[in-house]
Amino acid sequence: MQDKDAIIKQLIEENKKLREYIKLLEEKIARLQKNSNNSSKPPSSDIVKPKKVLRKVARKKRKRGGQHGHRKFSRRPFEPEQVDEIIEYEFKDKDVEGLKSLDQWLIIQQIELPEKMYKVIEHRARKYLDPVTGKVHIAPMPDEIRKGGLLGADMTASVAFMKGGCHMSYTTIQQFFKEVMHLDISRGLLSKATQKASQSLATAYDQLAQRLPEQSYLGIDETGHKDNGDKHWTWCFQTTEYSLFHIDKSRGSGVLFDLLGEKFDGIIGCDYWGAYRKFARLTNATVQHCMAHLIREVRFLAEHSIKKLSRWGNELLHWLKKLFDTLHRSDQMTAKGFARRMKQIKQGFLSRMRRPPNHRLAKKLSKRFRGKAAETYFRFLTEPCVEPTNNASERQIRHTVIDRRITQGTRGQAGMRWCERIWTTIATCKKQKQNVFDFIHQSLLAHWTNKNYPLFL
């Protein structure tokens, strides 16, 4: 009998350990099942977008290309003043017999590369000898010629555009010049050209950096960056008018204090990273936490193998779907009706969020929504300029991520400053509807002549 009690006790202990082990395995499996829909791995906003209306009428799959009955869209032909050469084709005399010549033509406009895609200009400054002193004097030469060196402003701007705007490596640019332009240029010269462009963009970049503390709303996000193999962070600060990138070794709140200052009192759109919360706690800044990130966290719980977590997560998702469905139908509702509906949804969501199941993951998420802390997710309801998600900042960062994968990072301060300035130039020119190449070209001329710098704003 004593052996029986000991065996039962041993089985109970083993059962207890197995239950704990199973619980650990379930959590591990849940973590491994994270994807773009239920975590913050890559940006995603699946349920933020309006639902697609499915047509009830069954339709055949359309063929590729233009559809029968649809209006044809063609590129507008070049204007006469844009045409460099005209070649006419006519019948020979024996073939034209019996035909009447019309003043009409079948026209095909064709774009071709010139035989030589560059021109070489030799600038000469005459030397003069002073017979009294024996000193040699040289006639003045324009600054943009002297400082430009072998590559002129337009060629230097082309290298910078290919490097920063087209994600091309120096080797690829070198190959393009050699194979297409029949011009042999060293990697060292390409690197120098890039640095000249970087220095010319510093003035416009600093102008935007000085405006950051004055903004009423800033979307902020960060992503990884490697410099000489060491971990750094690329910060993105964006508004409707411009985007600014900053590379720093820190991902902490110190970067925010350095760029925004202690007196910043605007609104920050961001994820739940602690640096933003600390900055808001120590300044007058307010925060709009990203609802898309929250959706992914809730979806992770909704797909969890533990039923009580899954049930709770699905109930929260239900309220979040209602919230965004109403948000996308706001133009179909009166202002009062929209406000009343959003208030009901908010109360329903918070009521369920504040009654989590007995599990550490649920309690950890629910803790964010205690008291006034919940307003950091719903500030967009009372502030018209504030977006409910941080998707705009994540979209701005995509260009830098592509660049990072191709270039594998930078190798020093000069490389990091180049990345900051060219990424800022590309993103801001797009928002300002400016030509990136033209902006770089004008910046180079201004830098070499020290006047008339182009500015973004």
Q: Is residue 229 left, alpha or beta, with left meaning phi > 0 and alpha meaning psi from -120 to 50?
A: left
Residue pair 444/200 in contact (Cβ under 8 Å)? The answer is yes
- DSSP conformational letter for 50: P
| Burial environment of residue 193 by CB neighbours within 10 A (0 to 12, 13 to 18, 19 or more) | buried
| Residue 355 resides in a domain | yes
Extract the tokens encoding 79. 């204007």
| Residue 307 resides in a domain | yes
State the pLDDT at residue 351: 95
Residues contacting 221, CB < 8 A, separation 6+:
235, 236, 270, 271, 390, 393, 394, 396, 397
| Residue 257 resides in a domain | no
| Residue 101 resides in a domain | no
| Residue 19 resides in a domain | no
Q: pLDDT tens track of the chain, all 457 residues?
A: 557 778 887 888 888 888 878 777 777 776 666 666 666 655 444 555 555 555 555 566 777 877 888 888 888 999 999 999 999 999 888 888 888 889 999 999 999 999 899 999 999 999 999 999 999 999 999 999 999 999 999 999 999 999 999 999 999 999 999 999 999 999 999 999 999 999 999 999 999 999 999 999 999 999 999 999 999 999 999 999 999 999 999 999 999 999 999 999 999 999 999 999 999 999 999 999 999 999 999 999 999 888 999 999 999 999 999 999 999 998 899 989 999 999 999 999 999 999 999 999 999 999 999 988 899 999 999 888 899 999 999 999 999 999 988 888 999 999 999 999 999 999 999 999 999 999 999 999 999 998 889 988 8
- Domain around 336: 291-381
Q: CA 90, CA 275: separation in Å to the nearest integer?
A: 74
| Residue 457 resides in a domain | no
| Residue 350 resides in a domain | yes
| Residue 336 resides in a domain | yes
Residues contacting 323, CB < 8 A, separation 6+:
291, 342, 345, 346, 349
Strand partners, 238: 219, 243
Number of domains within the chain: 1
